[in-house]
Chain A
């Protein structure tokens, strides 16, 4: 016996075989149970207790008035590790540079320091500033304060210069 399927003539036996196979498959379980877990992750390392999400980019802006040939200082930024294990971090500390006559010259020499302090420090009196980047391993529960020093060279032209310092995760072993 033959049947017409989509305009083609197919033996009825073939159709019966396919139907049986489908029935047999439906009779086998793919799994016994399914557990769907939702992990709500909170950020381990936070700057000034800021957590990055759809509402917060954790980008802090500040303006420092500084005279060329002198130093200007940022506010102190608290970097806290809320995780149960230590967290390696890296802080970029870029200079502001310009290209003059084909060579790169530093206009603002930026220095940073990470301070283990109980209280929020005054960055203008902090010691130990150095060129970046800074790498550190923040112990679980520890807070350190980041201070940034901006040092325009004496012949820096009057004006505004933007410098972005980033606190970022440091790959383990890096």
Chain B
């Protein structure tokens, strides 16, 4: 009796497996591999509600222009709230196209946590500096390295440029520039970045 029960069970499982094999579990699978690259923060001449200018994430400037400040004053480009609590350890490579009326002068390039509502700076996350050696526009680059940084999810990141000179030193920053090319007999123009921060993850 016991043996026949076992035999019946095995037979049932066999039939069930044959029936299941005849029904599809899926029609198709799409296996996507996302190759993620680090972001770029690009200064844009567009206004933020805070009164500062926008710091874009991966997008070219919508508006271009130039901003000026004097002596030890500063100017801030910032993002909206990022909704994140941390950022991995990275090298922050600052690029700036700038000129100064009485070279040489030091310009500080800083990464800040910023409240996007009022534009107030909260805590400095990294800083570097460059020496402006021309009264004409030139592009300068400097890098700083940070460990993992913590962030308030309601805040964004800001690129703050601050002068060190004075008195009567005027710093001018180029925020994007127009570049045109001919495509298919038509001239197509873009606003390309001039002042930006590259993120280079630490190994």
Chain A interface (Cβ within 8 Å of chain B)? 43, 45-48, 50, 52, 57-70, 72, 74, 77, 79, 89, 96, 108, 146, 148, 150, 152-169
Question: Closest residue of chain A to B37, judged by CB?
Answer: A67
Residues of chain A with a CB closer than 8 A to B29's CB: 57-60, 164-167
Residues of chain B with a CB closer than 8 A to A108's CB: 34, 36
Using A148-B30, A165-B30 as known contacts, say yes or no to A157 and B25 having CB atoms under 8 A apart. Answer: no
Size of chain B's interface in residues, with CB distance under 8 A? 27
Residues of chain B with a CB closer than 8 A to A47's CB: 27-28, 30
B residues 1-46 near A (Cβ < 8 Å) are: 24-40
List 29 contacting pairs A-B, 8 Å CB cutoff, sorted by A.
Answer: A45-B27, A58-B26, A59-B29, A61-B32, A64-B32, A67-B38, A68-B37, A69-B57, A70-B39, A77-B28, A77-B30, A108-B36, A154-B57, A155-B87, A158-B37, A159-B35, A159-B36, A160-B36, A161-B33, A161-B34, A161-B36, A162-B34, A164-B29, A164-B31, A165-B32, A166-B26, A167-B27, A168-B25, A169-B26
Question: Closest residue of chain B to A75, judged by CB?
Answer: B30
Contact A155 B40 (CB under 8 A): no
Contact A46 B88 (CB under 8 A): no
Please report the C-alpha to C-alpha distance between residue A150 and residue B27 in the assembled complex, in whole angstroms.
Answer: 22
Contact A162 B38 (CB under 8 A): no
Contact B40 A67 (CB under 8 A): yes
Contact B36 A67 (CB under 8 A): yes
Contact B34 A150 (CB under 8 A): yes
Main secondary structure of the interface of B (DSSP, over half): strand
Please report the C-alpha to C-alpha distance between residue A50 and residue B30 in the assembled complex, in whole angstroms.
Answer: 12
Contact B39 A69 (CB under 8 A): yes
Residues of chain A with a CB closer than 8 A to B35's CB: 63-66, 159-160
Minimum distance in angstroms from A95 CB to a CB of chain B: 11
9 residue pairs, one from A and one from B, having the closest CB atoms:
A47-B28, A69-B57, A168-B26, A69-B39, A58-B28, A165-B30, A59-B29, A150-B34, A70-B58
Of the candidates B30, B32, B84, the one whose C-beta lies within 8 Å of that of A155 is B84
Residues of chain A with a CB closer than 8 A to B26's CB: 58, 166-169
Interface assignment of B123: CB less than 8 Å from any CB of chain A: no
Interface assignment of B82: CB less than 8 Å from any CB of chain A: yes
Contact A79 B27 (CB under 8 A): yes
Contact A69 B34 (CB under 8 A): no
